[in-house]
Structure 1
Amino acid sequence: MRKLFLPIILILVVVLSACGSSEQKDAGGESGKPAESTSNNPAPSNSSDKESATRTYQSEEGPIEVPANPQRVIVLTRFLTGNVMALGVPVVGVDEMSKDNPRFQEQLKDVEAISDESLEKIMELEPDLIIGLDGVKNMDKLKQIAPTVVYTYDKVDYLTQQIEIGKLLNKEQEARAWVDDFKARAQKAGDEIRAKIGEDATVSVIETFNKQLYVYGYNFGRGTEILYDEFKLKMPEKVKEATSKDGYLALSTEVLHDYLGDYVIFSKNAEEDSSFQNTELYKNLPAVQNNRVFEADAKTFYFRDPLSLDYQLDFFIQSFLGK
Structure 2
Amino acid sequence: MKKLILPVLILFVLILGACNSESVTTKENETKEDPTTITYESESGPIEVPADPQRVVVLSSFAGNVAALDVNLVGADSWSKSNPGYDSFLADVEEVSEENLEKIIELNPDLIIALSTVQNLDKIKEIAPTVTYTYGKVDYLTQHLEIGKLLNKEQEAQAWIDDFKKRSSVAGEEIKAVIGEDATVSVIENFDKQLYVFGNNWGRGTEVLYQAMGLKMPDKVKEMALEAGYYALSLEVLPEFAGDYVILSKVADQDNSFQETDVFKNIPAVQNGQLFEANAEKFYFNDPISLDYQLEFFKESFLNSK
**What TM-score bracket applies, with the shorter chain setting the length?**
0.7 to 0.9
After superposition, the C-alpha distances for 1:149-203 in whole angstroms (9 at most, x for unaligned) are 1111111100000000000001000000000000000000001111111111110
State TM-score, norm by structure 1. Answer: 0.82
Q: Which of 53, 58, 70 is residue 88 of structure 1 equivalent to?
A: 70
* Residue 217, structure 1, aligned to residue 199, structure 2: yes
Structure 1 unaligned blocks of 5 or more: 1-50
Q: Is the 8 A contact 2:190 2:251 kept in 1?
A: yes
Structure 1 residue 52: Cα displacement: 7.8
* Residue 184, structure 1, aligned to residue 177, structure 2: no
* Residue 156, structure 1, aligned to residue 151, structure 2: no
Alignment of 1:1-323 (within 5 A): 53-77=36-60, 79-322=61-304
Q: Is the 8 A contact 2:250 2:279 kept in 1?
A: yes
Distance 1:252 1:62 in 2: 43
Distance 1:305 1:316 in 2: 16
Structure 1 residue 223: Cα displacement: 0.6
Distance 2:44 2:232 in 1: 35
After superposition, the C-alpha distances for 1:221-256 in whole angstroms (9 at most, x for unaligned) are 101111111111111111111113422222222221
SS of the aligned residue for 1:227 comes to helix
Structure 1 residue 137: Cα displacement: 2.1
Distance 1:161 1:104 in 2: 19
Distance 1:256 1:135 in 2: 31
Structure 1 residue 106: Cα displacement: 3.1
Letter of the 2:288 partner, please give it.
Answer: P
Letter of the 2:45 partner, please give it.
Answer: G
Letter of the 1:315 partner, please give it.
Answer: F
Identical-pair percentage: 64
After superposition, the C-alpha distances for 1:96-127 in whole angstroms (9 at most, x for unaligned) are 11110011123212211111121111111110
Letter of the 2:206 partner, please give it.
Answer: T
The list of structure 1 runs, each at least 4 consecutive aligned residues, that deviate by more than 3 angstroms after superposition, is: none
Letter of the 1:193 partner, please give it.
Answer: I
Higher-Rg member (1/2):
1
Task: State the aligned residue count.
Answer: 272
Q: What residue number does 1:17 align with?
A: none
SS of the aligned residue for 2:118 comes to coil
Letter of the 1:174 partner, please give it.
Answer: E
Q: Is the 8 A contact 1:52 1:67 kept in 2?
A: no
Structure 2 unaligned blocks of 5 or more: 1-33
Structure 1 residue 285: Cα displacement: 1.7
Letter of the 1:217 partner, please give it.
Answer: G
SS of the aligned residue for 2:217 comes to coil
SS of the aligned residue for 2:91 comes to coil
Distance 2:234 2:216 in 1: 23
Q: Is the 8 A contact 2:198 2:226 kept in 1?
A: no
Cα 1:254/1:57, change in 2 over 3 Å: same
Distance 1:291 1:121 in 2: 48
State TM-score, norm by structure 2. Answer: 0.86
